[in-house]
Amino acid sequence: MAPEPQASVGGVTNLPLPRFAALRSDEVNLRAGPGTRFPIEWTYQRRELPVEITREFELWRRIRDPEGTEGWVHQSTLMGRRSAIVRAAPGTEAALRRQPEDTAPLVARLRPGVVVRLRQCEARSVWCEAQTGDHRGYIRRADVWGVMPDEEVK
């Protein structure tokens, strides 16, 4: 059986697919299908974890998490405020810098798995403005998962 074609726009929201969102609460159920009659396969316990929305069906969104796990969540468990997760190589850290340049002073070193709030990414820029806790600065787009390579985030 051939895979179904991937839509580039959601049939429910008319928003682009795929696109990123974040988990709204510390308890979000990932289901095998789009509805409460489908079994819960996983419960996320990490508010603001970025997820990629790949499909829409009524009030349900098929998502992919940073580990590649896929399933369905109710749209009310997602929020539009953008976040990203640091994906530096194991044993390394990503630099959060004062300005968007490699030579700028360091604000913080971020370990893989740290969730940052995306404040702004200019289209096709290699840098995004991000915040985690009291630390605010710029991180390389390549060091995070949760934003498309040429996407603008405002």
Per-residue pLDDT tens for 63-88?
999 999 999 999 999 999 999 999 98
- Predicted local confidence at residue 7, as pLDDT: 63
Topology annotation, domain 84-145? SH3 type barrels. (2.30.30)
User: Judging by beta carbons within 10 Å of its beta carbon (0-12, 13-18, 19+), is residue 141 exposed, middle or buried?
Assistant: buried
- Predicted local confidence at residue 137, as pLDDT: 98
> Phi/psi of residue 75, each to 5°?
-60, -25
Mean pLDDT of the chain: 94
Going by C-alpha positions, the residue among 61, 70, 68 that lies closest to residue 24 is: 61
- Predicted local confidence at residue 90, as pLDDT: 83
Average pLDDT, integer, range 109-114: 96
- Predicted local confidence at residue 88, as pLDDT: 82
CATH number of 19-81: 2.30.30.40
pLDDT, tens only, 43-68:
999 999 999 999 999 999 999 999 99
Residue position matching structure tokens 């997820």: 51
| 0.75 surpassed by pTM | yes
To 5 degrees, how large is the angle CA 54–CA 58–CA 60? 50
Residue 3 pLDDT exceeds 70? no
Tally of residues, the chain: 154
In the chain, which residues fall in CATH 2.30.30.40?
19-81, 84-145
Average pLDDT, integer, range 126-132: 98
